[in-house]
Amino acid sequence: MKNLRLIAVLVVAANLAVVAFLLLKTPADTRPAGVSEAIAPLLEDTTQARATYELGDQKEKLNLIVISMDALRYDRSGFGGNPDGLTPNLDAFMEEAAVFHDAAAVASWTLPSHMSIWTARWPSIHGVTNKLKLLSQDQMVPTTLSPGIETFPDHLVRAGFTSAGFTGGAGVQAMYGFGRGFETWLDDKPFAGFDYSAPPALEWLKANSSKRFFLFLHGYDAHGQHDLTGLRPRDVITDYHGNLDGSIEEQARLREEGLASIKNPGDTADLSGKVSADDAAFLKKVYDLKVKQADERVGAFLTQLKAMGIYDRSVIAIVSDHGDEFMEHGYVDHGPTLCQHQLHVVMGIRFPGFTRRNDIKTPVRLFDLFPTLFDALGLTGPSGVDGQSLMPILRGEKLDLPMYAESDYRLFVHLRSIRQGKKKLVLDLSDGGRRLYDLASDPEEARDGSSADPRATYEMEQAVRRWLETTRTNPQDYLGLKQEPIKIF
Ligand SMILES: [Zn+2]
């Protein structure tokens, strides 16, 4: 009996010691007034779930790191429910992050999507919707962001952040307006992966991490135009007996053949006679191998950040810019559609000191990223932008955000979409056609429900048309438009 009492006393003492330890660890500005108030959340284990992400004094000192994993589909991630173990490193990162499970890109390919992240504006507003733009009837000139449009990184540079970007080039080159004001911007290798961009980023950090910095890291590892490193897909995927080899040349050919199948305004790409179900399954497996490589490389980079003592001195966001298609809608690659396989992206933010995963199910836009980061860090960004801070959601408030997306891919397709709840409408400006999807019952967007639900179709189309007015888009300019896709990408 005495022994039991002694054990009980020791257990109580140990618990009190743990509580005292946790209280001492709690930053002074968030420490509750009374002990009972402090113990209750500890017992309920909800301190992190109720995290407000107040960064306190750290706010003025933290660095900012944004990592963009190009063409990574949300549904390939473990934290997004994929069972194949493709992203263990990303999953581990997200275990300590605010994870936006329903984040949508506002454009379905690299250049406009990244520029929307950079500016928090709709593509039609920032104007960098293609690599070239039509100057006159037969003259194309490279597109670049207007000097009159401020970016969030402009403000970081102005606020004194030493800034550098290490990218895979192509759609994120400085010539389009990225890297303005940066000390360093690497973009010299087209469609390079993190194996190319991360090592110089780490070198740069060694020399610069004593200053307050903003680092942008980007890689095309999962992209169709980036080859697997050290692996030939046919050597690894042995249960496929078709003719494809999973090369970047083949991927480019299929992409162009898909576009060539669009004969008239309003047509959708159709590769069904050229890519069988087995071929598509093979291409998806090649993609999964690339996703794994992307994850390993980002994981290795994060490990280095920890070793250098940077990980817990930085707010770190990991995102993807769009997804990819493998014949879910008759096409391979991305850009000319606005299906969820393209728009549903990865988006997670790790705030140091908040080490529990916070699952956010509210639909948000990828271009809300910088407004959110700025809000968290107490920084002022450009005014009048279209994106907005998601911090209210993280603090438990509700936000109902307008979910639009657009694609004028290679000046060839002209699509706009809207999501309201589980309904999604895609409007094709080139023929005025519209398709309505119920993402709850038809997540693959296989059945057009516009004739079955004319009221929702009408109301959502009107919402799109009102939004078009705000983006100064005249739908008449696109009606009946028929031209060749511009030849650069
Ligand atoms: Zn991309």
Q: For the segment 368-402, what is each residue's pLDDT rounded down to a tens digit?
A: 999 999 999 999 999 999 999 999 999 999 999 99
Q: What pLDDT does 28 receive?
A: 37
Closest CA to 203 of 162, 166, 156, 161: 166
Report CA(220)–ligand 1 centroid distance (Å). 7
Contacts of 325 (CB under 8 A, 6+ apart): 331, 332, 333, 334, 337, 339, 341, 342
Note the pTM of the prediction, 2 decimals: 0.89
Report CA(170)–ligand 1 centroid distance (Å). 9
Contacts of 452 (CB under 8 A, 6+ apart): none
Q: What pLDDT does 50 receive?
A: 57
- Domains annotated on the chain, with CATH: 2-44 (no CATH), 63-399 (3.40.720.10)
Report CA(345)–ligand 1 centroid distance (Å). 11
Which has the higher per-residue pLDDT, 39 or 100? Answer: 100
Q: What CA–CA distance (Å, rounded) separates 71 from 26?
A: 39
Residue reference for tokens 């903003």: 214
Mean pLDDT confidence for 166-179: 97
Percent of the chain with pLDDT strictly greater than 90: 82
Residues in the chain: 489
Q: What CA–CA distance (Å, rounded) separates 303 from 207?
A: 18
Q: What CA–CA distance (Å, rounded) separates 427 from 45?
A: 47
The greatest distance separating any two alpha carbons of the chain, rounded to the nearest whole angstrom, comes to 96
Report CA(114)–ligand 1 centroid distance (Å). 8
Could you read off the pLDDT of 331-379 as tens digits, one per residue? 999 999 999 999 999 999 999 999 999 999 999 999 999 999 999 999 9
Q: What pLDDT does 134 receive?
A: 81
Which has the higher per-residue pLDDT, 16 or 26? Answer: 16
Report CA(111)–ligand 1 centroid distance (Å). 7
Report CA(128)–ligand 1 centroid distance (Å). 14
Which has the higher per-residue pLDDT, 130 or 486? Answer: 130
Residue 433 reports pLDDT greater than 70: yes
Report CA(167)–ligand 1 centroid distance (Å). 11
* Poorest-pLDDT segment among 16-20, 195-199, 363-367, 437-441: 16-20
Residue 454 reports pLDDT greater than 70: yes
B/e letters for 266-298, b = 16+ CB within 10 Å, e = fewer, are eebbbbeeebeeebbebbbbbbbbbbbbbbbbb
Q: What pLDDT does 489 receive?
A: 53
Residue 53 reports pLDDT greater than 60: yes
- Rounded-to-5 percentages of helix, strand, coil across the chain: 40, 15, 45
Q: What pLDDT does 47 receive?
A: 46
Q: What CA–CA distance (Å, rounded) separates 155 from 159?
A: 6
pLDDT band at 483 (very low <50, low <70, confident <90, very high): confident
